[in-house]
């Protein structure tokens, strides 16, 4: 991999135009807008195929998201166009710090998402309810046993003494470690709060300590 610059770490590029990325099969018919870094894409495809004989159907529901896409997600929640944990915000309610903390239970500030890196994927559903169904439980069980064989780990494990900070558990989010460890190291070295800007609520990034709490508040296997 070539040296990583700030734009790679902050998601400021178009995956379709970046030669380090390739389009991947999501496993969902006619859903072709998924890109990953080449090594992560190969590992995903191998994992998807190897699950089939076990009657486990893995589908990508999210892959690389650039800064602009994350900004759209974040600001739709901020402005009340998208519900946040079941609630639609209004302009003055709740206050901005509460808004940011609520959104941060499951969504990253633009510039701080692992989805910018082209190494991380969401599998089958981004709802905990799905993973409570018999099918969802089978999928999660299969991933816990098998995903590490393909280089994938779950960064947002259940909150515990070992992972007290950061996002709530995401059973759908898996990270291709051989690459994402390199990205995390580079992120810690290169990115400062002055780089996290350009969206509603960006001024709260430092106060909420988003770099140590959310970027680094992950499963220790992912560091």
Least spacing, CB of residue 3 vs Zn ion, in Å: 26
Do the bridges between strand 173-176 and strand 152-153 make them parallel or antiparallel, or are there none, so unpaired?
A: antiparallel
CB of 173 to Zn ion, least distance (A): 4
**Which one, 163 or 173, has the nearer CB to Zn ion?**
173
Nearer Cβ to Zn ion (31/54) = 31
CB nearer Zn ion, residue 122 or residue 195: 122
Comparison of 168 and 206: residue with beta carbon closer to Zn ion: 168
Exposed/middle/buried for residue 121 (C-beta within 10 Å: 0-12, 13-18, 19+): buried
Q: Which residues bind Zn ion (CB under 5 A)?
A: 122, 173
DSSP-based three-state secondary structure for 82: coil
Give the three-class secondary structure for 49.
helix
Task: Show the tokens assigned to 66.
Answer: 């650039």
d(CA 176, CA 174): 7
Do the Cβ atoms of 222 and 44 come closer than 8 Å?
no
Residue least distant from Zn ion (Cβ): 173
User: Do 199 and 74 meet the contact criterion of CB atoms below 8 Å apart?
Assistant: yes
Residue 90 CA, chain-centre distance (Å), reads 26
Nearer to Zn ion, 96 or 170 (CB): 170
Please state the closest distance from residue 142 (CB atom) to Zn ion, in A.
Answer: 18
Min separation Cβ 120 and Zn ion, Å: 6
Q: Which lies closer to Zn ion via its Cβ, residue 122 or residue 153?
A: 122
90 forms bridges with which residues in the sheet?
Answer: 93
Pull the structure tokens for residue 179.
């690459």
CB of 170 to Zn ion, least distance (A): 6
Encoded tokens for 20 = 């380090």
Q: Which of 58, 167, 176, 201 is nearest to 115 (CA)?
A: 176
From the CB of 15, what's the least distance to Zn ion, in Å?
A: 15
């Amino acid at each position: 991999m070539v040296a990583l610059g700030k734009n790679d770490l902050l998601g400021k590029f178009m995956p379709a135009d970046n030669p380090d990325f390739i389009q991947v099969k999501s496993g969902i018919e006619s859903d072709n807008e998924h890109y990953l870094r080449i090594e992560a894409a190969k590992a995903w495809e191998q994992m998807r195929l190897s699950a089939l004989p076990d009657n486990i159907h893995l589908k990508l529901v999210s892959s690389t998201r650039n800064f602009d896409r994350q900004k759209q997600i974040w600001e739709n929640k901020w402005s009340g166009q998208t519900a946040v944990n079941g609630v639609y915000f209004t302009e003055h309610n709740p206050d901005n710090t509460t808004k940011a903390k609520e959104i941060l239970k499951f969504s990253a500030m633009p510039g701080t998402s692992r989805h910018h890196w082209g190494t991380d994927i969401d599998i089958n559903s981004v709802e905990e309810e799905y993973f409570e169904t018999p099918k969802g439980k089978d999928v999660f069980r299969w991933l816990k046993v098998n995903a590490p064989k393909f280089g994938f780990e779950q960064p947002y494990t259940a909150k515990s003494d070992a992972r007290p900070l950061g996002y709530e558990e995401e059973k759908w989010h898996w990270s291709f470690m051989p690459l994402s460890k390199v990205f995390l190291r580079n992120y810690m070295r290169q990115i400062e709060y002055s780089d996290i800007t350009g969206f509603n609520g960006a001024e709260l990034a430092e106060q909420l300590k988003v770099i140590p709490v959310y970027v680094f508040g992950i499963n220790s296997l992912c560091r």
